[in-house]
Amino acid sequence: MLFLGRTNVLLRRGIYGIVNAHYDDYSYYPQKAFEMYCQYTDRVEPFSMDECWLDLTDICGAGDIKQTADEIRSRIKNELGLTCSAATTHGRGV
DSSP 8-state symbol, 57: T
Q: Is residue 54 within a helix (H) or strand (E), and if so which, with residue range?
A: strand 51-54
Asked if 35 is an active-site residue, the reply is: no
Q: Which of 35, 45, 51, 71 is catalytic?
A: 51
Q: State the number of CA atoms in the 13 A half-sphere of 72 facing the CB.
A: 25
Specify whether the CB–CB gap between 47 and 8 falls below 8 A. no
Residues catalogued as catalytic: 51
